[in-house]
């Protein structure tokens, strides 16, 4: 969490530096984003369980590649910084062919260091919560995501790009958790890689 705060502060500080003298966006402009694509299991990191520890990729997480989609809305608060929100839905199968779903609901901060009118390079940082579900169990987890999103505009309003990054959920259990869960707190990492459709006005 501390690292995330530091990262956000750095992002805010850097955002004040104009990369290009000519800004395309004005304060108050808005953008809708629609993302759809795939999600790759990146890792599971068990913090209190020496038997498991850090388990990367498909073989480590016992999860297959799945899908991810999201909707977002943002408004520019400066000429290169936009804030808003995003809701998504991700799914992937475990080795047992049972579906694991994640519904992240986040606040979103986006920095536009490159903006030519025809092309944007956007860096996103999201923070919020995610509803995790596996079999009949659910968990509300803190959620953070960073991603990079180059976009090419095919018209004044519509752009097409690629959005890829990394998100982390934290399934936290205290020492008084029932069953075996007190030893099973874990970070879950996931790599969303999507095609993004942007509508701006």
Partner 1 sequence: MKKSIVFALLLALLLLVSCNADSEHGLYYKVSNSLPSSGIAVIGYLGYEGGTHYFYSNAGIYKVGATGGAQVLKGTENFQIHGAYMANADTFYFITITPDSPAAVYKYLVSTETASKQESLTGYSMLFSNGFLYSNTVITVVDDTASSVVLTDGKFSTPYASGDSIIVMHGSKAEIYKKGSLSTPVTVTGFSSSLKGFFHQLAEDIYLVFDGKKVYEVTASCSLGDLTPKASLPEAPSHGYKVSTYGTGIESYLVRTKTGFTKNGSWIAVDWLSRNSINDTNVVDMYDMGNGEIAVATYSNGIYIIDMAAEKVHEVRL
Which residue ranges make up the site for partner 1 (CB under 8 A)? 44, 46, 49, 51-52, 55, 60-63, 94-98, 100, 129, 131-135, 137-140, 171, 173, 178-181, 183-186, 188
Nearer to partner 1, 163 or 171 (CB): 171
* CA-CA-CA-CA torsion sign (178, 179, 185, 191): negative
Helix, strand, coil fractions of the chain, as percent rounded to 5: 10, 60, 25
* Nearest approach, Cβ of residue 52 and partner 1 (Å): 7
What φ, ψ does residue 20 adopt, rounded to 5°?
Answer: -120, 140
Nearer to partner 1, 7 or 140 (CB): 140
Match 């009118």 to its residue by tokens.
117
* Nearest approach, Cβ of residue 123 and partner 1 (Å): 28
* Nearest approach, Cβ of residue 39 and partner 1 (Å): 14
CB 33 within 8 A of CB 88: no
Nearer to partner 1, 122 or 186 (CB): 186
């Amino acid at each position: 969490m501390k690292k995330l705060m530091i990262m956000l502060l750095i992002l805010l500080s850097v955002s004040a530096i104009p990369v290009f003298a000519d800004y395309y966006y004005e304060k108050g402009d808005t953008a809708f984003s629609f993302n759809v694509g795939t999600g790759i299991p990146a890792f599971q990191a068990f913090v209190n369980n020496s038997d498991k520890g850090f388990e990367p990729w498909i073989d480590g997480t016992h999860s297959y590649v799945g899908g991810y989609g999201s909707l977002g809305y943002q408004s520019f608060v400066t000429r290169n910084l936009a804030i808003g929100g995003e809701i998504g839905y991700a799914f992937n199968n475990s080795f047992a062919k049972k579906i694991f779903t994640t519904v992240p609901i986040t606040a979103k901060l986006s920095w536009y260091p490159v903006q030519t009118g025809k092309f944007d390079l956007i860096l996103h940082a999201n923070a919020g919560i995610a509803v995790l579900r596996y079999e009949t169990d659910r968990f509300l987890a803190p959620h953070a995501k960073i991603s990079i999103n180059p976009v090419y505009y095919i018209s004044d309003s519509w752009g097409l790009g690629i959005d890829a990054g990394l998100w982390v959920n934290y399934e936290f259990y205290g020492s008084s958790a029932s069953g075996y869960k007190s030893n099973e707190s874990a970070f879950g990492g996931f790599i969303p890689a999507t095609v993004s459709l942007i509508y701006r006005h």
